[in-house]
Amino acid sequence: MNSGLDLEYSFNEILKGFGLSSELAHIIWLPLPMLLVLVSAVVGVLVTVWLERKISAAAQQRIGPEYAGALGVLQPIADGLKLLVKEDIIPAKADSILFTAGPILVLVPVILSWLIVPFGQNLLISNVGIGIFLWIALSSIQPIGLLMSGYASNNKYSLLGGLRAAAQSISYEIPLALSVLAIVLMTNSLSTIDIVNQQSGAGILSWNIWRQPVGFIIFWICALAECERLPFDLPEAEEELVAGYQTEYAGMKFALFYLGSYINLILSALLVSILYLGGWGFPIPVEIIAKVINLPIDAPMIQVFTASIGIIMTVLKAYLLVFVAILLRWTTPRVRIDQLLDLGWKFLLPISLANLLVTAGLKLAFPQFFGG
Amino acid sequence: MSIAVTTQIICFSVLSLVVIVGALGVILLESIVYSAFLLGGVFLSVAGLYLLLNASFVAAAQVLVYVGAVNVLIIFAIMLVNKKEDLKPIDNLKLRRIVSTSICLTLLSLLIRVDLSNVWGIADPNRSIGEESTIRIGEHLFSDYLLPFEVASVLLLMAMIGAIVLARRDVMNEDISTGLPVDQELIEKSSEPLLMKKN
């Protein structure tokens, strides 16, 4: 199945038209999607930071950023500039190599995970076969970076924050992976493209959220915990640990943590929308719309329309989830560390195991609804 | 030489260099924390080598299991028990080092000999199964490798029981080597609500 726009193919054809070899054209093509994704991730962070400021202000009946640009839209850029020009401080008693490597090790896996986020049939960097499993594997590298920066800071709050972060992400990775496994079971594939295509049969009715409501809730809770968002932001709990593993960081190194946590939030929201909310699918299938306005599905106009609808839908769903996450952050109290681990090990893990069993049973009993 | 082959050679040499230098660092560095982090680097580079061999599922599993679980737990344990203690000086350190080096070098030369003399059955690259390998691994795990797969879970269960026995010192309240009663101060007391005491 290869419908929809294939930008790589057309780009390579154009370059070959200029007399370049196909290998050279491929090399020129390679950095383009990566750069595009990097830019869109950073722009996504800017938007999310602005949203966070505005929504938190609304939740607390304040106005929020107001003077930097219309409605304060330039505020996140001002924040970023401030962090860029701040002095880069390495504490005298800190371990400078590990102190520098920590934030990098936190950010790189998150950005690498964008490899598998599809915005359309052919609109992703690489349709690797292991798809969603790559994200689970990559997100397990992050705690090493957190432990590293917690240790290297030579500060008891940092060390405690790093240890908490590692404990938290180890505990919540398991129910997260199990709820993804239930989806994979229904799809018969690990690829994110196949997961979305499996949900595209009947528009909004065939989204996985109706077939996996328990999995959806488990995944969302675990994703919030992995992002260290507020009900679960124990690694950086201000009242207990100053700022956890970030305590000694300033300037660009702090900005890397900041960027990493927001990119991770957007990535989690995107993955929830891909796994449970039909990815790039419009609530009404595009095929039906094409039939109504009487155009063949592979007409150029319809193709461009489908691709843009796909991008808009993916981003819209993701930002709806980001909105929910921000509201949750500003309206819920923080759990205690023992409550957090209890929730992970004694509640989410058994429930996700049961969910997996029920999914497998339903798949065998009703193959037409649960992917035979 | 095509661009793909060149990229592969560059990736292979960088990854092998990282594996060898990192592994040497793990055993030669004095600081145990550095060793643990380098071990993570070695695991990651091995995953990269798997990727070069078209085994993407094995590579991801390597990252998930060895980097995400094993190495994180090693670092976790080191940081929880970061006791600074002076090790006792060992007698005949030089002699011990010479003996262990010669044994290791003999082992290494044996392995090199194995590598050179054995005829490795290299699979035909044109018949590589690529992305299908995930399915094949699953099929093997549930047919001819089922018994080792299940026995591995018994091993994990044993390790877990051992860890619980070690962690709960009220089960074993004697030190194994000295026979003295173990200091039980750190065992968590049953928690009482703070406010109840005031009445």
- Residue A354: the pLDDT is 93
- Give the whole-angstrom CA distance, residue A149 versus residue A97: 10
Question: When comparing pLDDT for A8 and B105, which is higher?
Answer: B105
Percentage above 70 pLDDT, chain B: 79
CB atoms within 10 A of CB A98: 20
Which of B 153-172 lie inside 8 A of A, CB atoms? none
- Residue A353: the pLDDT is 92
Tens-digit pLDDT profile for residues A104-138: 888 888 888 888 888 777 777 777 778 888 888 88
**Which residue of chain B is at minimal alpha-carbon distance from A159?**
B79
Best of A126, A151, A338 to substitute, by most chain B Cβ atoms within 10 angstroms, is A151
Could you give the C-alpha distances from B198 to A168, A371, B193, in angstroms and in order?
Answer: 34, 60, 10
- Residue B1: the pLDDT is 61
Could you give the C-alpha distances from B152 to A57, A212, B147, B163, in angstroms and in order?
Answer: 53, 31, 9, 17
Q: Does B64 touch chain A (CB under 8 A)?
A: yes
Say if residue B150's pLDDT is above 60: yes
- Residue B175: the pLDDT is 64
| Secondary structure class of B87 (helix, strand, coil) | coil
- Residue A3: the pLDDT is 45
Say if residue B62's pLDDT is above 70: yes
Cβ pairs bridging A and B (under 8 Å): 75
B chain contacts of residue A151, beta-carbon cutoff 8 Å = 33, 75, 79
The complex scores an ipTM of 0.81
A76: its two tokens: 């996140």
Say if residue B184's pLDDT is above 70: no
Name A118's Cβ contacts closer than 8 Å, sequence gap at least 6.
Answer: A124, A127, A192, A193, A196, A274, A279, A280, A314
Question: When comparing pLDDT for B132 and B130, which is higher?
Answer: B132
Q: With bands split at pLDDT 50, 70 and 90, how would you rate the model's confidence at B158?
A: very high
Q: Is the pTM of this model over 0.90?
A: no
A107: its two tokens: 């950010």
Mean pLDDT for the stretch of residues A253-279: 88
Out of A57-71, A275-289, A292-306, give the one with best mean pLDDT.
A57-71
Q: With bands split at pLDDT 50, 70 and 90, how would you rate the model's confidence at B171?
A: low
- Residue A2: the pLDDT is 43
Among A148, A163, A190, the residue with its CB nearest the CB of B134 is A190
Q: Does B29 touch chain A (CB under 8 A)?
A: no
Say if residue A13's pLDDT is above 70: yes
- Residue A6: the pLDDT is 66
Out of A47-61, A187-201, B96-110, give the one with best mean pLDDT.
B96-110
In chain B, how many H helices and how many E strands? 7, 0
Among B57, B68, B134, the residue with its CB nearest the CB of A141 is B68
Among B33, B67, B131, the residue with its CB nearest the CB of A151 is B33
Tens-digit pLDDT profile for residues A324-364: 998 888 888 888 888 888 888 889 999 999 999 998 898 88
Q: Does B69 touch chain A (CB under 8 A)?
A: yes
- Give the whole-angstrom CA distance, residue A233 versus residue A287: 43
Q: Does A277 touch chain B (CB under 8 A)?
A: no
Say if residue B88's pLDDT is above 80: no
Among A133, A144, A190, the residue with its CB nearest the CB of B67 is A144
